[in-house]
Structure 1
Amino acid sequence: MSAERVHRTAHEVEIAAPAAVVYGLIADARRWPLVFPPNVHVERLASDGTHERLRMWATANGTVKSWTSRRRLDPAGRRVDFRQEVSAAPLTGMGGSWIVEERGAHACRLVLLHDFTVGGDRPEDVAWVERATDTNSRAELGRVGELARRWPGLAERTLSFEDSVRIAGPAGAVYDFLHDAAAWPRLIPHVDRLELTEESPGVQVMSMDTRTADGTVHTTESIRVCFPDALRIVHKQTVTPALMDAHTGAWTVVPDATGVTVTARHDVILREEAVEPVLGAGATVADARRHVREALGRTTAATLTLARRQAERAPARR
């Protein structure tokens, strides 16, 4: 830690769920974007099963911040300690612990501790960090509690799938089509409106209106993190359609000797209480799984078809 004053916060919640379930949600950081509202994307840089190094992107007071952290996992003690290697301003350092305290076979307490320092210890910057830490901690604890309490049905409400297409064109042209989403309303028929801002390089914030096959218009908001060197774009919806409790995914472009393979991945948690209001009386989670799979599959296929059309008439650049 630096020489600045160390500030400390503590948050906790009682959860009516087994401690092992709660610890599992905390330990699997790569799923955090799907689990935690503030988390946008997590890249695991290294891991030996006990120690891991992560690059993380998350919202803080409405802005997207990124940092690198080291974590130590203690499954026997149901504790995860973390320390940021590289913090985002105004922080100069942050660390803490997740601690799961068993309270019986089906109950536990989850404690989240933070300690942090701020450059210059300016009161306005300290207040900004305290507000972001409090908001995100409450959101994360509440979300863990909600998912853990409904753990038995979570697998049924979660679906992951991929769609791929071969393109006989340059990888750069494919990536550019996916990256330059501001142009989509004039290129993709099901996109009625799209507003995009990129306040920091590679991090895009989008608001989009899309039209489904029955003419219904859905408004979604997303954050995308772009990796041009890896030809990959990851995304998280921060405002989802009614049936989706959470939605993350990625576009990946893999070149080879004859062209590229473009894969679109989607990970979704369904909102069970919305199934009947959206799909009609008697509809089930299984119906919702089919509906979401088909809807996302259609829009993905349409986007990939247009990406192929654009790329196959573009000159080779990469």
Structure 2
Amino acid sequence: MTTTSAVRETEHEISVAAPAERVYALIADVEGWPEVFPPTVHAECVERDGDAEVIRLWATANGTAKTWTSRRRHDPERMSVSFRQERSQHPVGGMGGQWVVEPVSDSECRVRLLHDFFAASDDPADLEWISRAVDRNSESELRALRTSAEPTGSDRLITFDDTVSVDGSAKDVYDFLNEAQLWSERLPHVARVSLEEETPGLQILEMDTTTKDGRVHTTRSVRVCRPFTSIVYKQIVLPALMTLHTGRWLIEERDGGGVTVTSRHTVRINTARITEVLGEDADLATAQEFVRKALSGNSLATLGLAKAYAERDDGRRAAS
């Protein structure tokens, strides 16, 4: 049984060259967190009542994938958001804290991130594991918050979709996309694949993919899988040209039968490596188009094979 003496408190802070209102808005908008905070894979508001809300987060911690539910309360006047986990995941026994945005001037503010937490067991190693995760994630999140809030001169975020219609069932399409451990056998552009799934529906997927020019890229993603409607993912090991890549597979029932399947990508280009990867003449637009074509090409290949798999299985059942 954990006692109050085992509760640990931490505080991290950072200065941001941006108006406090802008920074507070990024903290308050939890559904935008995957594009702001590196550890956050997916975030949803489950319920909202005035300034109170229940959110569910999927994130990485010390290299592992975790999910939990928290209750948050917004205080726009103080520009603070308090939070308390309702359902923590081992080894965390309980955790809460607060974001506080303090204006320094019209164009600068200080952000403090406070945590209090205890372990689910009396093992000191568990408390140390949580402390390392809180330190690492807090520092990463504050740096990322500053990067997102401060003006950069160009918006490097792009989003694009690819969609196919499938005369088959949502389950068959979902199974094809969910069973990524089989992709090296099913997808010609996947040379190697490794899939971990300690928590049902929460996967860590590592792949070696081959481009048309023969280059091999290793990526590692965390995936949140929802039968039979969606798979949301975020790459935590990225190719050189990207600093952010989130995506989702969306499966939607069609009136009259069949499904529509969409692959959606959101990408931020790593401007510091454009010329290194694409040559001296390349610019941001060149890199965005290169990445869009590469990702769309792989997505359309996967969608085409998922379509063939679902329609073939549907046909087999109809003939049996």
Q: TM-score range by the shorter chain?
A: over 0.9
The aligned counterpart of 1:14 is 15
Q: Following TM superposition, by how much is the alpha carbon of 1:165 offset from its aligned partner in structure 2, in angstroms?
A: 0.5
TM-score w.r.t. the length of structure 1 is: 0.93
For 2:175, give the aligned amino acid: D
The aligned counterpart of 1:141 is 142
Post-superposition CA distance 1:250-294 (Å, at most 9, x none): 111112332111111111111111222222224222222222222
Post-superposition CA distance 1:125-145 (Å, at most 9, x none): 221111111111111111112
Contact 2:231 2:250 in 1 (8 A): yes
Q: Following TM superposition, by how much is the alpha carbon of 1:34 offset from its aligned partner in structure 2, in angstroms?
A: 2.2
Whole-Å separation in 2 of the counterparts to 1:146 and 1:291: 24
Post-superposition CA distance 1:36-88 (Å, at most 9, x none): 12111112212246222111111112221111011122333221111111111
Greater alpha carbon shift after TM alignment, 166-175 vs 74-83:
74-83
| Partner SS, residue 192 of structure 1 | strand
Counterparts in 2 of 1:273-292, with a 5 A limit? 273-292=272-291
Whole-Å separation in 2 of the counterparts to 1:139 and 1:188: 34
Greater alpha carbon shift after TM alignment, 68-77 vs 166-175:
68-77
Structure 1 residues 182 and 120: CA distance shift in structure 2, 3 A: closer
Aligned residues: 313
Counterparts in 2 of 1:1-318, with a 5 A limit? 4-5=4-5, 6-48=7-49, 50-153=51-154, 156-228=155-227, 230-256=228-254, 257-315=256-314
Post-superposition CA distance 1:112-131 (Å, at most 9, x none): 00112323443222211111
Whole-Å separation in 2 of the counterparts to 1:87 and 1:123: 18
Whole-Å separation in 2 of the counterparts to 1:26 and 1:180: 34
Structure 1 residues 119 and 191: CA distance shift in structure 2, 3 A: closer
Contact 2:47 2:54 in 1 (8 A): yes
| Partner SS, residue 78 of structure 2 | coil
Contact 1:66 1:88 in 2 (8 A): yes
Whole-Å separation in 2 of the counterparts to 1:151 and 1:102: 20
Whole-Å separation in 2 of the counterparts to 1:201 and 1:8: 31
TM-score w.r.t. the length of structure 2 is: 0.92
CA RMSD of aligned residues (A): 1.8
Post-superposition CA distance 1:74-103 (Å, at most 9, x none): 333221111111111222221111111111
Whole-Å separation in 2 of the counterparts to 1:280 and 1:25: 35
| Partner SS, residue 17 of structure 1 | coil
Contact 1:4 1:121 in 2 (8 A): no
Whole-Å separation in 2 of the counterparts to 1:14 and 1:157: 23
Runs of 4+ that moved beyond 6 A: none
For 1:253, give the aligned amino acid: I
Q: Following TM superposition, by how much is the alpha carbon of 1:18 offset from its aligned partner in structure 2, in angstroms?
A: 2.2
Post-superposition CA distance 1:202-223 (Å, at most 9, x none): 1111111111222222111111
Whole-Å separation in 1 of the counterparts to 2:180 and 2:96: 36
For 1:32, give the aligned amino acid: W
Unaligned runs of 5+ in 1: none
For 2:146, give the aligned amino acid: G
| Partner SS, residue 131 of structure 1 | helix
Whole-Å separation in 2 of the counterparts to 1:197 and 1:262: 24
Contact 1:185 1:194 in 2 (8 A): yes
For 1:160, give the aligned amino acid: T
Whole-Å separation in 2 of the counterparts to 1:81 and 1:63: 25
Greater alpha carbon shift after TM alignment, 74-83 vs 109-118:
74-83
Whole-Å separation in 2 of the counterparts to 1:47 and 1:161: 29
